[in-house]
């Protein structure tokens, strides 16, 4: 039942918003439908089409609410009329519009503040709880709750339409949608908290939606680049954890366990993704991921080419995380001392304070340089900010100096 709810919630919410034009109403009746299922299904069994059962139940509950609140119903009728006059949305490959994709574009409307777009979409479409979204943004849960409510109110008062934007609007709106998909995948690839290193349900959902977006917008190179990136990175997930759930570092992974079909699919997308002038940030990241996937091991990875690609990526984004990854690549090309020198220049970056991958990278390079006592101390520092129990367990083992 939990798996069904995870699978159906986003689809249910998108369809309800499309039908009633009100996000709060949709969330409320979707929750009511799931609550009803928790009572009905254990006694009568999970229905053959659980999504249809949930949708029928939610629609009935929505109608009941609207009958009790005529003023609310009149307001929704105006919104629905505006939606009906809107241009028809493009359709997915099977000929049916994907309501979740429409909701993505609604949640990333430029009328919303940038931070609110991502927060609202992670909450509504990815199924993250408000505390999980708050952790992803490194803000208190009450602050995030207010931000999400503010975004919903803005959608309602501004009468933001529930549709995929016209071609002339896509240039402005698409980056927001891509950022949301990337963030969902990132939470799936490296969970922000909890007992597991990965949340494969989120990673799979991000890839599914990225596939839909690529089918809807095949000419958009960055949509292609994002899909390629997600496939090439996700291909490694079977080897990223040991049987006990602990992390397995890239250099120790059994590369025969990597998903070759995902790698092949991702590589096939690269020529189109990289064909732009200049190539976008997701396409460049996908090219870096492809070099990792093609290498027989860490030592024989094309580190000079990876450093060159990070140089290109640095011109697309000024992210300190990109600078951190570039420093690690330089260390593999030129030695740990070269990497440590670059990490030292990033020590005062506000975004990297409390960001445990920075401390882990520094500890690793100190260890490679033979500075074992300093490395153990850096690992202890990283332990204080590690996000998941598997990461903390790995760091505990590394806090003892090696001789």
Mean pLDDT of 188-211: 80
Using the predicted structure, report yes or no on whether residue 343 has a pLDDT greater than 90.
Answer: yes
**Side-chain half-sphere of 199: how many Cα atoms within 13 Å?**
22
Check pLDDT > 60 for residue 379: yes
Is the distance from CB of 360 to CB of 398 less than 8 angstroms?
no
pTM: 0.77
pLDDT at 192 over 70: no
**pLDDT exceeds 50 at position 94:** no
| Average pLDDT value for residue range 207-224 | 89
What is the number of alpha carbons within 13 Å of residue 77 lying toward its C-beta? Answer: 9
Class of the CATH domain delimited by 327-403: mainly alpha
Q: What is the pLDDT of residues 42-62, one digit of tens each?
A: 999 989 998 899 999 999 998
Rounded Cα–Cα distance for residues 176 and 184 (Å): 12
H-helix or E-strand containing 382? Answer: helix 372-383
Averaged pLDDT of the chain: 85
């Amino acid at each position: 039942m939990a798996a069904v709810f995870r699978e159906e919630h986003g689809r249910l919410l998108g369809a309800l918003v499309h039908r009633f034009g009100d996000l709060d109403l949709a969330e409320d009746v979707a929750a009511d439908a799931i609550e009803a299922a928790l009572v009905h299904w254990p006694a009568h069994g999970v229905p053959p089409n659980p999504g249809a059962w949930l949708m029928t139940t939610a629609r009935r509950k929505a109608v009941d609410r609207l009958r009790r609140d005529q003023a609310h119903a009149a307001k929704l009728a105006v919104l629905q009329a505006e939606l009906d006059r809107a241009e028809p949305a493009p359709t997915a490959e099977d000929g049916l519009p994907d309501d979740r994709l429409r909701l993505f574009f609604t949640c990333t409307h430029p009328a919303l503040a940038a931070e609110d777009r991502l927060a609202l979409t992670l909450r509504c479409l990815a199924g993250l709880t408000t505390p999980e979204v708050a952790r992803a943004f490194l803000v208190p849960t009450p602050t995030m709750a207010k931000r999400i409510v503010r975004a919903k109110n803005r959608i309602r008062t501004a009468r933001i339409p529930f549709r995929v934007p016209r071609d002339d609007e896509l240039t402005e709106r698409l980056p927001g949608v891509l950022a949301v998909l990337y963030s969902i995948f990132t939470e799936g690839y490296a969970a922000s908290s909890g007992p597991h290193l990965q949340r494969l349900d989120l990673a799979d959902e991000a890839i599914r939606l990225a596939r839909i977006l690529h089918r809807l917008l095949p000419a958009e190179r960055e949509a292609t680049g994002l899909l390629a990136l997600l496939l090439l990175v996700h291909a490694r997930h079977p080897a990223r954890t040991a049987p006990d759930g602990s992390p397995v570092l890239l250099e120790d992974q059994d590369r025969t366990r990597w998903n070759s079909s995902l790698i092949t699919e991702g590589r096939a997308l690269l020529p189109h993704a990289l064909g732009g002038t200049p190539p976008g940030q997701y396409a460049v990241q996908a090219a870096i991921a492809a070099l990792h996937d093609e290498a027989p091991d860490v030592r024989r990875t094309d580190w000079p080419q990876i450093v060159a690609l990070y140089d290109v990526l640095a011109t697309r984004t000024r992210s300190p995380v990109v600078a951190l990854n570039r420093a690690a690549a330089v260390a593999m090309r030129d030695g740990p001392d070269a990497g440590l020198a670059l990490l030292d220049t990033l020590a005062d970056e506000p975004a990297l304070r409390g960001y445990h991958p920075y401390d882990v990278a520094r500890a690793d390079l100190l260890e490679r340089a033979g500075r074992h006592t300093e490395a153990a101390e850096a690992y202890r520092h990283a332990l204080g900010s590690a996000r998941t129990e598997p990461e903390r367990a790995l760091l505990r083992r590394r806090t003892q100096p090696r001789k």
